[in-house]
Amino acid sequence: MPNKTVHVESQMNRGYAITLRAGTHTMHIDQPKSVGGTDTGPSPLDYCLMSLAGCISTIARIIADQRKMDLRGITVTVDGDINTDFLLGKTKEGRAGFTGIRVQVGIDADMTQEQKEAFLHEVDERCPISDNLLRTTPISFTVR
């Protein structure tokens, strides 16, 4: 059973600019000018990959703190491939989501390569964003 519910809200009016709220934080989503947006914020696809990078870093810090490890820093680079023709309705072939995501992680700690790989494996196992991207999570939609 869940012991926490994460809640966010968004508001889009004309155009592609969207204002989002998560607790006391406000973020903006938009599209590049080249596709009709005003480029006032990252796209939803950017946020998805940024969420993965941020979650990997956060879980790494949690694990390091739990083990009392000296994790001096972590860098995460994420690249995702997507068929934009599908999301634009130009084709029914393929899928709307990323067809592949590649994550490169740099771990600044006194660990061997093997220890870093084991550490990253545990980070991946405990990362909620990675889990949601790897496994199917039921989504329900209602119109209010």
**75/101 same-domain check:** yes
Distances in Å between the alpha carbon of 109 and those of 72, 90, 105, 136?
6, 47, 12, 33
Identify the residue with better confidence: 92 or 2. 92
- The number of domains in the chain is 2
Q: Are residues 116 and 76 part of one domain?
A: yes
Residue 102 scores a pLDDT above 80: yes
In a domain, 142, yes or no: no
Is residue 48 domain-shared with residue 95, that is, in the same domain?
A: yes
Tens digits of per-residue pLDDT, 9-65?
999 988 999 999 999 999 999 999 999 999 999 999 999 999 999 999 999 999 999
Q: Is residue 3 part of a domain?
A: yes
Regarding whether 37 and 47 lie in a shared domain, the answer is no
Q: Distance between CA atoms of 27 and 71, rounded to whole angstroms?
A: 29
pLDDT of the residue at 87:
87
- 59 and 78 both lie in a single domain: yes
1 pLDDT higher than 80 = no
Q: Are residues 28 and 52 in the same domain?
A: no
pLDDT digits (tens, 9 = 90+) for 52-98: 999 999 999 999 999 999 999 999 999 999 999 998 899 999 999 99
Q: Name the residue range of residue 92's domain.
A: 43-134
Which residue matches tokens 């969420």? 51
DSSP SS3 for 16: coil
70 and 98 part of one domain: yes
